[in-house]
């Protein structure tokens, strides 16, 4: 009996000693993401309640590495780590904008792993989504069929999903339209009529002909290019389905002829040389001074611009205007290049140094579930017991489900966002991760549910356009192609100079053929060929 008790006591002690070890067996995954200069950024991710619960569900703990500082300092830290040969398990970054050659080159340089086998073995939720959405899968693989990264995925199936990535377009003064007795224009001819009325009808009511019918600042006149079936830079020709270059060809000449006519008649002003257009302040000042009738605007202008105009004119109001219809087919209206793609500019990669690929994959796969998407978008439901385990939440959640089934943020969630408001856009830095671009599927309703009605309605209107002119955002040129394109695209300065001269009349359009010949000498045809080859490879993916 004594021997039995001694054995039992020894076993009990061993189990007691093993308990802490067992508790520590939750795998740890190291994650690096960009920090920032704002005070909240370095510690925001580690305390996001949605991400805390995702770790709990996945049974994985994140060890954070969040470089902070200026943009240059953060970029230097990123490149230093990549050059060190000692990588964290996961890196979330704007890789395609920060590393020459982007994600594809990270793979070629032996920094990240191919994910096909990882998805097959450890990621059933993500694999199912790819299988059910082949059009999305096509854009997420490379030309050789490799999956190399994870990202926020917007299926772009619904009105809200398209509107959630559409936040700029043509805008004008509704009160000016009322004053001249006209409706918002839908065609190029109607635009001409409205702009003429703005010029001649004294819509601001000050008794002077000081109106600027269309302020071309901030590259505004480029928004009329789609009406001619073209988009700036590489685009897909709607008539041939082939790659073209917007500032090269007969359609571009037709566009220039219209802009030249409008400029000569005083219907557009502030046509600037460089492709970035006028400094924002220039366009803004004309809006604030009650001088501009129409312009390139953002969905937040009712919040960010209109209040200042109302100080000058208490009757002022803005209205979003649809993209003008295609001159060759009045039933179609094309959008400019929104860069509308299924993915996000921020991507998540798994490095070759990842010590537990299964744990890393399980963490990311959890984010792609319906619950994971809610967690990375809205945080935790108010009634969720998980909140009680988090000291900083005080047992409170960040959203609740209304009677109509829609999600609404809680009062507490709104309060904790007060100090994290980005004044440039109506986008709060929140308890969840809607701004942080962690992998998830959909969740466009969050963006619309947390923004003003004018923002939502303008985004929906602009999103109604046909986006088939857009060169696919998912295409990333090879490093060699990028170098070749960079050399050829030095012609950009020439294109901008000639656009300015053609529109202002400094260079007569009778010299347009000479302009075309000069672009040919500078390599425009080779440039189009490089983009066409990349496009053809993209279209062949998955076949």
Alpha carbons 540 and 543: distance in angstroms, whole number:
6
Region for residue 88 given its phi and psi (left: phi exceeds 0; alpha: psi -120 to 50; beta: otherwise): beta
Residue 50 structure tokens: 């949605």
Alpha carbons 510 and 364: distance in angstroms, whole number:
58
What value does the mean pLDDT take over residues 153-175? 92
Residue 543 pLDDT exceeds 80: no
| CB-based contact 91:102 (threshold 8 Å) | no
- Let me know if domain 168-337+477-539 sits in CATH 3.40.50.2300: no
pLDDT for the residue numbered 360: 98
User: SS in 3 state form for 394-445?
Assistant: CCCCCEEECCCCCEEECHHHHHHCHHHEECCCCEECCCCCCCCCCCEECCHH
- Cα 265 to Cα 67, 258, 259, distances in angstroms: 53, 11, 10
Q: How far does Cα 393 stand from its chain's mean position?
A: 30
When computed from its CA atoms, the radius of gyration of the chain, rounded to whole angstroms, is 27
pLDDT tens digit sequence for 445-479: 777 777 889 999 999 999 999 999 999 988 878 77
Q: Annotate 380-393 with b (16+ C-beta within 10 A) or e (fewer).
A: bbbebebbeebeeb
| CB-based contact 191:325 (threshold 8 Å) | no
The H-or-E segment that residue 263 falls in is helix 250-264
Among 179-183, 224-228, 351-355, 481-485, name the one with the lowest average pLDDT. 481-485
Q: Annotate 475-484 with b (16+ C-beta within 10 A) or e (fewer).
A: bbbbeeebeb
Alpha carbons 471 and 460: distance in angstroms, whole number:
22
pLDDT for the residue numbered 281: 58
Residue 197 structure tokens: 């009325």
Alpha carbons 300 and 425: distance in angstroms, whole number:
6
Mean pLDDT of the chain: 87
The vertex-344 CA angle with 455 and 322, nearest 5°, equals 35
The H-or-E segment that residue 462 falls in is helix 453-463
Q: Which residues pair with 62 in a beta bridge?
A: 29
pLDDT for the residue numbered 226: 97
pLDDT for the residue numbered 42: 46
pLDDT for the residue numbered 217: 82
Residue 21 pLDDT exceeds 60: no
Give the pairing of strands 150-153 and 440-441: parallel
Q: Three-state SS for 298?
A: strand
Alpha carbons 91 and 100: distance in angstroms, whole number:
16
Q: Which residues pair with 292 in a beta bridge?
A: 212
pLDDT tens digit sequence for 410-437: 888 877 765 444 443 333 444 444 556 7
Residue 443 pLDDT exceeds 60: yes
Percent with pLDDT over 70 in the chain: 88
Q: Minimal CA–CA distance to 246: which of 276, 225, 262?
A: 225
Q: Which residues pair with 295 in a beta bridge?
A: 171
pLDDT tens digit sequence for 69-125: 888 888 999 999 999 999 999 999 999 889 988 999 999 999 999 999 999 999 999
| CB-based contact 509:101 (threshold 8 Å) | no
Q: Half-sphere exposure (CA, 13 Å, Cβ side) for 341?
A: 18
Runs of H (alpha helix) within 144-209 = 159-163, 174-180, 188-200
Residue 249: pLDDT band (50, 70, 90) is very high
| CB-based contact 337:235 (threshold 8 Å) | yes
Query: Which sign does the torsion angle of CA 285, 288, 294, 298 carry?
Result: positive
Most confident stretch, 142-146, 170-174, 451-455: 170-174
Do domains 23-155+343-448 and 168-337+477-539 share one topology? The answer is yes
Give the pairing of strands 28-33 and 61-65: parallel
pTM, rounded to two decimals: 0.84
pLDDT tens digit sequence for 260-286: 999 999 999 988 754 444 455 567 889
Runs of H (alpha helix) within 68-123 = 71-84, 95-98, 102-108, 116-122
Residue 483: pLDDT band (50, 70, 90) is confident
Alpha carbons 339 and 341: distance in angstroms, whole number:
6
What value does the mean pLDDT take over residues 53-63? 97
Percent with pLDDT over 90 in the chain: 65
Q: Could you say which DSSP state residue 238 is in?
A: T
| CB-based contact 441:368 (threshold 8 Å) | yes
For the chain, what are the domain ranges? 23-155+343-448, 168-337+477-539
The vertex-125 CA angle with 398 and 343, nearest 5°, equals 75
Domain made up of 23-155+343-448: CATH architecture: 3-Layer(aba) Sandwich (3.40)
Alpha carbons 377 and 220: distance in angstroms, whole number:
33
pLDDT for the residue numbered 40: 43
What length does the chain have? 543
pLDDT tens digit sequence for 301-348: 999 899 999 999 999 999 999 999 999 999 999 999 888 788 888 899
Higher pLDDT, 310 or 480: 310
């Amino acid at each position: 009996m004594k021997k039995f008790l001694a054995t039992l006591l020894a076993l009990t002690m061993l189990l007691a000693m093993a308990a802490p070890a067992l508790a520590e067996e939750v795998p740890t995954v190291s994650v690096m993401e960009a920090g920032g200069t704002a005070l909240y950024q370095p510690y925001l991710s580690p305390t996001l309640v949605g991400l805390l619960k995702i770790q709990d569900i996945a049974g994985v703990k994140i060890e954070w590495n969040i470089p902070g500082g200026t943009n240059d300092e953060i970029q230097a830290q990123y490149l230093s780590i990549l050059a060190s040969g000692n990588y964290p398990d996961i890196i979330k970054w704007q890789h395609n904008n920060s590393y020459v050659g982007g994600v594809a080159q990270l793979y070629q340089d032996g920094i990240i792993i191919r994910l096909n086998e990882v998805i097959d073995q450890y990621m059933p939720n993500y694999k199912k989504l790819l299988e059910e959405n082949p059009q999305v899968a096509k854009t997420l693989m490379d030309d050789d069929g490799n999956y190399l990264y994870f990202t926020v995925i917007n299926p772009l199936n619904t009105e809200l999903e398209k509107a959630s990535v559409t936040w700029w377009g043509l805008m004008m003064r509704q009160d000016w339209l009322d004053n001249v007795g006209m409706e918002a224009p839908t065609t190029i001819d109607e635009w001409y009529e409205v702009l003429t009325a703005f010029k001649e009808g004294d819509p601001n009511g000050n008794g002077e002909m000081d109106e600027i019918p269309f302020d071309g600042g901030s590259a505004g006149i480029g928004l009329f290019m789609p009406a001619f079936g073209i988009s700036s830079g590489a685009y897909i020709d709607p008539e041939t389905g082939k790659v073209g270059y917007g500032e090269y060809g007969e359609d571009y000449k037709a566009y220039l002829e219209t802009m030249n006519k409008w400029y000569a008649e005083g219907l557009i002003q502030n046509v600037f040389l460089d492709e970035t257009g006028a400094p924002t302040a220039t366009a803004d000042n004309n809006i604030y001074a009650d001088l501009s009738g129409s312009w390139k605007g953002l969905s937040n202008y009712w919040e960010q611009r209109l209040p200042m105009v109302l100080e000058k004119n208490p009757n002022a109001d803005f209205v979003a205007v649809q993209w003008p219809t295609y001159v060759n087919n009045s039933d179609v209206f094309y959008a400019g290049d929104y860069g509308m793609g299924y993915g996000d500019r921020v991507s998540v990669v798994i490095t070759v140094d990842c010590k537990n690929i299964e744990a890393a994959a399980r963490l990311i796969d959890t984010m792609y579930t319906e619950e994971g998407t809610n967690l990375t978008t809205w945080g935790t439901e108010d009634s969720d017991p998980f909140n009680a385990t988090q000291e900083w939440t005080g047992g409170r959640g960040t959203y609740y489900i209304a009677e109509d089934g829609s999600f609404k943020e809680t009062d507490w969630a709104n309060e904790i966002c007060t100090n994290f408001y980005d004044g440039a856009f109506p986008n709060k830095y929140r308890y969840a991760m809607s701004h942080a671009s962690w992998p998830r599927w959909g969740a466009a309703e969050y963006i619309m549910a947390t923004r003003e009605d004018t923002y939502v309605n303008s985004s929906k209107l602009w999103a109604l356009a046909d986006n088939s002119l857009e060169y696919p955002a998912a295409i990333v040129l090879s490093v060699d192609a990028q170098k070749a394109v960079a050399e050829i695209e030095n012609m950009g300065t020439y294109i901008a100079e000639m656009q300015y001269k053609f529109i202002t009349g400094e260079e007569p359009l009778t010299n347009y053929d000479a302009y075309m010949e000069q672009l040919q000498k500078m390599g425009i045809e080779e440039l189009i060929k490089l983009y066409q080859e990349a496009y053809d490879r993209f279209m062949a993916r998955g076949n």
